[in-house]
Amino acid sequence: MTGMPPDVEAAFFDLDNTVVRGASLFYFARGLAARGFFSRRELQGFTRRAVHYALRGEVHGHLVEVRELALAFVAGHTTAEIRGIGEEVYDEHVEAKVRPGAQALARGHLAAGAPVWLVTAAPVELADVVARRLGFTGALGTVAESVDGVYTGRLIGEPLHGPAKAEAVAALARASGWDLARCAAYSDSANDLPLLSMVGHAVAVNPDRALRRHAAAHGWPVLEFRTWQHAVRWTRRLGAAGALGAGAFVLAGLVRRGR
């Protein structure tokens, strides 16, 4: 298959803008908002903070805000409830956003006998649903602590973003006996350079400008699953600040509709 490296022991796929168009965290937020997890005031406050971070380009600060907000909203709820919502969010928002090109690549790896893992900073509850629905081998995602099936409002480890994502994949590879030099990784974002740089077959998918430059400098393949018009529009907007801003406007739309 075009774009699929040969003789791969395992393949790792980022989720947002790689396998799925857009930000899965905000699809999840839409699902929670529709079910009364957020008040209008809380949504407005989050939107203001998201816009603030987007304009200033403070990605880490925004991730901290997202993490703390998400943990506060799920605290006291059962894991079964949140996983059930994850299933519904997939049907309502995510399924239609799956990129056929990325799905075909994953199927190619699976057909060749290579495990395929989804690796994302999104909640593992949502990551597990997406991976299972797409037939992937498994998923790694950000894990919220639970006791006796109820979320505590604390996180286990760090959000799977940047170096933490690479460390999680390295640990999985060690446990599974895979040689990372014979593994492949797919991502759209320069945030995933720690992961992409440690595998033998790094592939930039719908890349942001920083990743596109890095891929060109290192001879990595670049795959584009967007339409030409879509690609031009996103090339102008991309970068972490642009992505955060887009998420902010999604939440702003929810506020305007009174959810």
* pLDDT tens-digit series, residues 24-81: 877 887 787 788 877 667 656 665 665 555 455 445 555 555 556 666 667 888 999 9
Report yes or no on whether pTM surpasses 0.75: yes
Active site residue 148: no
pLDDT (0 to 100) of residue 25: 77
**140, two tokens:** 């790694």
Angle between helices 59-74 and 40-56 in degrees, nearest 10 = 160
Q: Is residue 100 over pLDDT 50?
A: yes
Local structure of residue 122 (DSSP, 8 states): E
Average pLDDT score over the chain:
80
Q: Is residue 239 over pLDDT 80?
A: no
How far is residue 102's CA from residue 186's CA, in Å, rounded to a whole number? 9
Among 7, 16, 179, 208, the active-site one is 16
Q: Please report which confidence band the pLDDT of residue 163 belongs to, taking 50, 70 and 90 as the band edges.
A: very high
Please give the share of the chain, as a percent, with pLDDT higher than 70: 71
Winning range, highest mean pLDDT, from 18-32, 138-152, 243-257 = 138-152
Q: Please report which confidence band the pLDDT of residue 202 belongs to, taking 50, 70 and 90 as the band edges.
A: very high
Q: Which range among 45-59, 94-108, 217-231 shows the weakest confidence by mean pLDDT? A: 45-59
How far is residue 78's CA from residue 62's CA, in Å, rounded to a whole number? 26
Residue 52: other Cβ atoms inside 10 A: 15
Beta bridge partners of 111: none
| Architecture, CATH, for domain 11-252 | 3-Layer(aba) Sandwich (3.40)
Active site residue 16: yes
pLDDT (0 to 100) of residue 74: 79
Task: Pick the more confident residue, 53 or 141.
Answer: 141
**205, two tokens:** 């998918």
Q: Is residue 255 over pLDDT 50?
A: no
pLDDT (0 to 100) of residue 256: 36
Among 7, 14, 148, 192, the active-site one is 14
DSSP β-ladder status, 222-223 and 138-147: unpaired
Local structure of residue 197 (DSSP, 8 states): T
pLDDT (0 to 100) of residue 224: 92
pLDDT (0 to 100) of residue 211: 96
pLDDT (0 to 100) of residue 72: 66
DSSP β-ladder status, 116-123 and 11-13: parallel
- SS3 (DSSP) at 216: helix
